[in-house]
Structure 1
Amino acid sequence: MKANHTNQRAAWTVETLRADQTWIYVLDDRARRDLTGAVRSAHDPDKSLFDYRPGDFDLGSAWPVIAVALREIRDGTGFAVLRGLPRNDLTELEFALLTWAIGLHIGVARPQGGASQYLAPVRNAGTVYRTGKGRGYSSDSDLDFHTDSADIVLLTCYNVAKSGGMSMVCSSVTAYQVMLAERPDLAELLHLPYHFSRQQEQAPDEAPFYPNPIYDQRDGLLFSKWNRNRVRSAQQIEGVPPLSVSQQAALDTLDTILRRPSVMYDMYLRPGDMQILNNHVTLHARTEFEDHDDPALKRCLFRLWLAPPDSVALPESWRPAYRAVEPGKVRGGIIGQAHDQTRQAFEMRQASDIGMRL
């Protein structure tokens, strides 16, 4: 099954990224002042994140820059880096609120785990990654290439590690093209359904695993969904069919291609950087890191998963994971086990504020 991806810029290589760095956006001093003022004027210690609305935060001259970066991830390379968030002017709590504020202007935040949390601090909490319930964002492990469970992932950097923690990104479109050219027999197998573990974070109405192909297409666009750890974990769950030798070979080949120097772009996020990824055409990973001893200096980033109003239609095979595949719908996330009335009310209000449908 050969997909003709109409967005050719999403099929980038390391060489093309280095030659054209228009995917990097820099905020100027005025934009930083606008963001600082927006957070400080809106911050209310008696409010939860769910109490804030987009209109509470005037992002000023920063918003046009962010909007262009969003077009880049939708219509261009599939990822962007925004530099110059006012990290030095804000406390960690204020920086987290800034991340949330930007997200409120982009789409509807999606829950990210069993606790139905919407803004996840990415820091080492002692999690063991490669287990049946491990999560990479709360560990210090090196992470496999993967996609997150939402249309967009937004990651803001507050503190960096003492060493390590390098970020890597790949174009899943490029990786597929390489595999199709070199091993078309194995590329075909990636369109079969594979089973992904929910890592014991399933909602009450969900099974502990779900089927999803690694690649599928719709309307001439190629989509990917990949997470080796979750596929590996699912193999231990009753009712999941074992992978064939050929399927294993296909997954191994894909992972090998993703690590090629011509395919894998690596970078270190700096304090004040924001990385934005389109999960449907981009895969990401991270190296192991060593943290600082001082708690105030420990590696800390903030992660948001978002459903934007201008999303495209997804393949029907994405429905078990995303719950909806129609364009412009609130979809994706890990609904989790605490998706209560407060969270549901937030989603309904935010969807209405930003012009989306639940």
Structure 2
Amino acid sequence: MMPARIEGKAVWKGPEVDYRAEMMHRFSDAEVAEIDAALKACGERDIPDITADTFVLPTMGPTMRRLRGELLDGRGVVLMRGFPRERYSADDMARIYVGLGAQFGQPVSQSWQGQLLGSVIDISDVVEKVRGYNAGGGQNFHIDGSACDIVALMCLRSAKAGGASRIVSVAALHNAMLDSRPDLLETLYRGYYHRNHEMDALHSLMPVQSDHRLPFLSQRDGRVTCLASGCIRYAVQYGGVTMSPLEVEAYDEWQRLARSEEFFLDMNFEEGDIQFLNNRSIMHARTDYEDHDPVARRRHMLRLWLRVPEWPAREPNQIWMNEIDCRHWQDKNRTPFMELPSRYLAELTATQEQRQRDRTVLKPDVPSGKYPSARGWQEAREAAKVDA
């Protein structure tokens, strides 16, 4: 059966949207004062202890519920701007961020390390084998793990230049492919095999790799959801999966449309900005950027993955990373206060300075340009066999 066309506010094209008018909430003085009071009442709680009950926002509650509704059935994007970043320490900003996020949903851990608050910062010259969010340069379009419904970013420190958030409507891409290449759209609905990242797999309770294809796209109740994570690439490169020419073409065409100026929207970050995205219906990427050398001065975004129990559940066959593993990682590997920026940056600064003294600084990694086509995943796998 041919997929249905998606209608409504979720279908948008970047050049046709003024995000400052349609996607932005600017903090009022009264809201800043209420948040400040909530921070003082919250005290120095650890991240898991910051909830809607401990970070109380009595008059902002209806506003936050309205914005959460906009994420589900509106544009799928909310940018909160105007919070006075300069008045607060990095750790206070982290607690404020988690407190606001808790009004939307429940934080879940983002990797085997169990962190509830991630740091998106380039540390590829300091730490070996980093994930994409800890490497520099641009990023390709993707959706984060299926365990979360909302992905959020707070700009703690901006780059020297560049580093805009690039977002795109899944519904708009879906309709465009329905019009131009319904055969490829059918392939995306059929889906791809998935495999966990190496370290996540070592600490996972679930199978390392799926034994069946998971739909790249799924549709229910007039909403379309997407599952476009790096787990597809891991299955090809490390799990021995071979994509057919049609599967490669479908994936590449989807990415080509997303990268087209007809569809994407660039959203610049100011320090203190908080961006919330519907992780089912909005794909995100990042433009290239120029950064500072000291780790403590580099572009630094804080990331939350939020699960929203009040939202309709994802289709069961479109879940790979799940809350069972997220809870397991948190219980087993998370340590108290591990995510606070002051502690995180102090440890990284010490490592960077030691590498500089030892002359063991690593070559920075910019992964986004490695695979212009999904065909390159299989080529890299075969090349690795030859080298071995």
TM class by shorter chain equals: 0.7 to 0.9
The answer on 1:173 being equivalent to 2:171 is yes
- Tell me if the contact between 2:7 and 2:222 (Cα under 8 Å) persists in the aligned partners: no
Q: Within 5 Å, which residues of 2 pair with 1:1-12?
A: 1-4=1-4, 8-12=8-12
SS in 1 for 2:303: strand
TM-superposed CA distance for 1:189, in Å, is 0.4
Bigger strand fraction: 1
TM-superposed CA distance for 1:296, in Å, is 4.5
Residues 333 and 77 from structure 1, CA distance in 2 versus in 1: closer, same or farther, beyond 3 angstroms? farther
TM-superposed CA distance for 1:16, in Å, is 3.2
The answer on 1:271 being equivalent to 2:267 is no
Q: Distance in 2 between matches of 1:263 and 1:148?
A: 20
State the partner residue of 2:78. 80
TM-superposed CA distance for 1:180, in Å, is 1.2
Q: Distance in 2 between matches of 1:163 and 1:53?
A: 35
State the partner residue of 1:281. 281
Q: Within 5 Å, which residues of 2 pair with 1:7-156?
A: 8-18=8-18, 21-44=21-44, 47-126=45-124, 134-149=130-145, 150-156=148-154
Amino acid at match of 1:145: F
1:110-159 deviation per Cα after TM superposition (whole angstroms, max 9, x unaligned): 11011011111211121799x9x752221113111001111111111111
Percent same amino acid at aligned positions? 27
Bigger helix fraction: 2
SS in 1 for 2:321: helix
Residues 29 and 262 from structure 1, CA distance in 2 versus in 1: closer, same or farther, beyond 3 angstroms? same
Which of 154, 157, 162 is the equivalent residue of 2:155? Answer: 157
Q: Distance in 1 between matches of 2:329 and 2:55?
A: 30
The answer on 1:216 being equivalent to 2:218 is yes
Amino acid at match of 1:49: I
Q: How many residues align?
A: 329
The answer on 1:321 being equivalent to 2:321 is yes
Residues 320 and 64 from structure 1, CA distance in 2 versus in 1: closer, same or farther, beyond 3 angstroms? same
Amino acid at match of 1:340: K
1:177-206 deviation per Cα after TM superposition (whole angstroms, max 9, x unaligned): 111111111111001131223111134322
TM-superposed CA distance for 1:54, in Å, is 2.4
SS in 2 for 1:168: strand
1:205-225 deviation per Cα after TM superposition (whole angstroms, max 9, x unaligned): 222233422111223422111
Residues 100 and 237 from structure 1, CA distance in 2 versus in 1: closer, same or farther, beyond 3 angstroms? same
Q: Distance in 2 between matches of 1:2 and 1:336?
A: 39
Residues 275 and 142 from structure 1, CA distance in 2 versus in 1: closer, same or farther, beyond 3 angstroms? same
Q: Within 5 Å, which residues of 2 pair with 1:222-261?
A: 222-227=224-229, 229-238=230-239, 240-261=240-261
Amino acid at match of 1:266: D
Residues 199 and 98 from structure 1, CA distance in 2 versus in 1: closer, same or farther, beyond 3 angstroms? same
In the superposition, the TM-score normalised over structure 1's length comes to 0.83
SS in 1 for 2:214: strand
CA root-mean-square deviation:
2.7
State the partner residue of 1:190. 188
**Higher deviation after alignment, 205-214 or 241-250:** 205-214
Q: Distance in 2 between matches of 1:116 and 1:52?
A: 16
SS in 2 for 1:196: coil
Q: Distance in 1 between matches of 2:166 and 2:334?
A: 36
- Tell me if the contact between 1:126 and 1:138 (Cα under 8 Å) persists in the aligned partners: yes
1:60-87 deviation per Cα after TM superposition (whole angstroms, max 9, x unaligned): 4444433322111111011111112231
Q: Distance in 2 between matches of 1:85 and 1:332?
A: 35
**Higher deviation after alignment, 300-309 or 211-220:** 211-220
- Tell me if the contact between 1:147 and 1:279 (Cα under 8 Å) persists in the aligned partners: yes
Question: Unaligned 5+ residue runs, structure 2?
Answer: 336-388
- Tell me if the contact between 1:128 and 1:134 (Cα under 8 Å) persists in the aligned partners: no
Q: Distance in 2 between matches of 1:257 and 1:127?
A: 32
Residues 19 and 157 from structure 1, CA distance in 2 versus in 1: closer, same or farther, beyond 3 angstroms? closer
Q: Within 5 Å, which residues of 2 pair with 1:278-357?
A: 278-322=278-322, 331=323, 334=326, 337-340=329-332
Q: Distance in 2 between matches of 1:166 and 1:341?
A: 32
- Tell me if the contact between 1:145 and 1:255 (Cα under 8 Å) persists in the aligned partners: yes
Q: Distance in 1 between matches of 2:61 and 2:295?
A: 32
Q: Which has the larger radius of gyration?
A: 2
1:85-107 deviation per Cα after TM superposition (whole angstroms, max 9, x unaligned): 23122100000111111122222
Question: Unaligned 5+ residue runs, structure 1?
Answer: 323-330, 344-358
Residues 64 and 128 from structure 1, CA distance in 2 versus in 1: closer, same or farther, beyond 3 angstroms? farther
**Higher deviation after alignment, 54-63 or 172-181:** 54-63
